Amino acid sequence: MEIPILFQDSRFVVLNKPAGLKVHPGPAGGPSVEDIFPTLSRRKDGPWLAHRLDADTAGCLLVALRKAALLEAQSLFAAGRAEKTYWAAVRGTPPGTNGTIEAPLLKRTTGRIWRMEPDPSGQPAVTEWRLLGAAPGIAWLEFRPRTGRTHQIRAHAAALGCPLLGDPVYGDGQGPLHLLARSLCLKLDPILNVTAPVPAHMQAALGRCGAQATMPV
């Protein structure tokens, strides 16, 4: 298995994670990003995932090659100082051109199924959003999460009235999930600033919404 590398230095590797690939095996096992770790470093310790993405989310995934780099990155993520941008294709159109969703999220489980729902007793969750384009029935949104809750963008998009295309939990689940971890910026020394290309399964929807036909690859 090969995963494209968007950036690499002595501290970090930023992978272009494909949609549908888990970041770690979990109890069910199966292919995961961690399968390629032996090819990223020959050091006795590491590499380490510096953060996580849902299995169905594509784009920028940060892997630390050294423990000191891992701790630096985790500190920025924990403090909300990691600048993360996501692109999504959603159903419907939002009420306006930009805004901020401040909706605490609480995990609710029914049988074997769980989801994150807005609830005042949940963990604080804040997401900024911006409309980048629209077409009949769908829209192209940019999300900037200011907190890092599970399923935050997916749950907040649904709360906005615009569930992500292909979302099996918060939307209709038709087709693949249209969510891309578009860019990641960590203000370290030297700075880390990486952008992921639009995956093939999202290009048609974003193209309908006005994205250029020749998106970066």
Distance CA 179, CA 182 (A): 9
CB atoms within 10 A of CB 53: 23
Asked if 64 contacts 80 with a C-beta cutoff of 8 angstroms, the reply is: no
Distance CA 190, CA 174 (A): 42
Residue type, 189: D
Instruction: Assess whether 9 carries a catalytic annotation.
Output: no
Backbone φ and ψ of 189, nearest 5°: -125, 105
Residue type, 202: M
Mode of pairing for the β-strands spanning 98-102 and 58-64: unpaired
Distance CA 94, CA 38 (A): 44
> Which residue in 35, 45, 54, 119 is the catalytic one?
54
Alpha-carbon separation of residue 69 from 49, 94, 124, 188, 194 (angstroms):
11, 38, 27, 9, 16
Asked if 143 contacts 151 with a C-beta cutoff of 8 angstroms, the reply is: no
Q: Which residues contact 207 (CB under 8 A, 6 or more apart)?
A: 213, 215
Catalytic residues: 54
